[in-house]
Amino acid sequence: MRRLPRESSLLSPQSSVWSHDSASRIRNPHNEDVPSGASPRSYAALSIGAAVVTIVLKAAAYRLTGSIGLLSDAAESSVNLVAALVAFWALSVAARPPDEEHAFGHSKAEYFASGIEGLMILGAAAAIAIAAAKRLIKPEPLSQVWLGLGISVVAAAVNGAVALVLLSAGRRLRSITLKADAQHLLTDVWTSAGVVAGVALVQATGWLRLDPILALAVAAMIVWSGWRLIRETGSGLLDTSLCPEDCRLIADALAPFQKTGIVIHALATRAAGARRFVSMHVLVPGAWSIQQGHDVCEKIEASVRAALPQTTVFTHLEPREDPASWADRGLDRA
């Protein structure tokens, strides 16, 4: 969890004291803030179906041609299938409501899926590189190239269409799992395009070693894709703060309250999969009644949730005149 800089410390949402409304929102994450439409799991199921279709098509293309480049393409689609199955599991876990053991929900399960997918991508790259190295040493002629390439193009089209659907859904539903799956499929599409062009060039020139060289290039691209997924997973597991755009929306939501003399500081934000968490201290006149302070916190929380759906907000109410209220901004309060 990372705090905003000192000059932004007045921009914050609610209190660390749990209101009845805050507690109920955590126990029921599937409230009005959740985007409507198909669930993330339905998109994961679509990815599973697409992976099965492309594996069959690409395996047929490899069997027809004997191209190690097309074999590398088929291997990546096999990884897609396992990754889609892992994604479906992770999204099923993430959809579970909070319980006694996991009071903040299960949304971080998505990071395990993206991490596993990243590692699997690296494993596929290693397998492709090994197979390509063997064919580089001992080249073999290709057969029925144009038929095999035609089948591979159909498989790439299937992957491309599904990737665009998953990418749109991942952004709308704030699902790192769907976005990771979409990025993987898009990488597969570009890989297929490069492989098809390369194998066609092999057929045109007769240079057989170009086929395994192409497979090695594919492996290098896959390594980069897997590394990006693993890095994004690590950021999520380390409770990285919300992006600048989200922080700006929070600041805009809090500005009207600050103009009335209410002080808001010690703002801290983090994301766990699709759900955001925001905490803050709200300083009001000490002469206010508990009810007055509570009402203000409720309004602040509602304002932040309206600006950022799927956000759980915690506010901590403090008297503005007490020096201790200005000094307890650290994780370990004095």
pLDDT value for 178: 82
Q: For the segment 249-273, what is each residue's pLDDT rounded down to a tens digit?
A: 999 999 999 888 899 988 888 877 6
Residues 221, 245 within the same domain: no
**Distance separating alpha carbons of residues 250 and 308, to the nearest angstrom:** 8
Residues 4, 71 within the same domain: no
pLDDT surpassing 60 at residue 134: yes
Q: Considering 222, 237, 252, which residue would you say is the last residue of a domain?
A: 237
Better-scored residue on pLDDT, 4 or 306: 306
Residues 303, 169 within the same domain: no
Taking residues 136-141, what's their average pLDDT?
A: 82
pLDDT > 70 fraction of the chain, expressed in percent and rounded? 83
pLDDT surpassing 60 at residue 307: yes
**Distance separating alpha carbons of residues 29 and 23, to the nearest angstrom:** 10
Query: Which domain covers residue 118, as residue numbers?
Result: 35-237
pLDDT surpassing 90 at residue 115: no
Quote the mean pLDDT of the chain.
Answer: 78
Residues 128, 178 within the same domain: yes
Residues 67, 99 within the same domain: yes
CA–chain centroid gap for 120, Å, is 16
Say if CB 320 and CB 284 are below 8 A apart.
yes
Residue 264's CATH number: 3.30.70.1350
221-259 CB burial, b ≥16 within 10 A, e <16: ebbebbeebbebbeebeeeebbeeebbebbbebbeebee
Residues 334, 246 within the same domain: yes
Q: Considering 210, 237, 264, which residue would you say is the last residue of a domain?
A: 237
Residues 17, 80 within the same domain: no
* Distant-in-sequence, close-in-space partners of 63: CB < 8 Å, separation ≥ 6: none
Residues 19, 109 within the same domain: no
Residues 252, 169 within the same domain: no
pLDDT value for 157: 93
Q: Considering 190, 215, 237, which residue would you say is the last residue of a domain?
A: 237
* Distant-in-sequence, close-in-space partners of 254: CB < 8 Å, separation ≥ 6: 10, 11, 12, 13, 264, 300, 303, 304
pLDDT value for 293: 93
Residues 180, 245 within the same domain: no
Q: For the segment 242-251, what is each residue's pLDDT rounded down to a tens digit?
A: 888 888 999 9
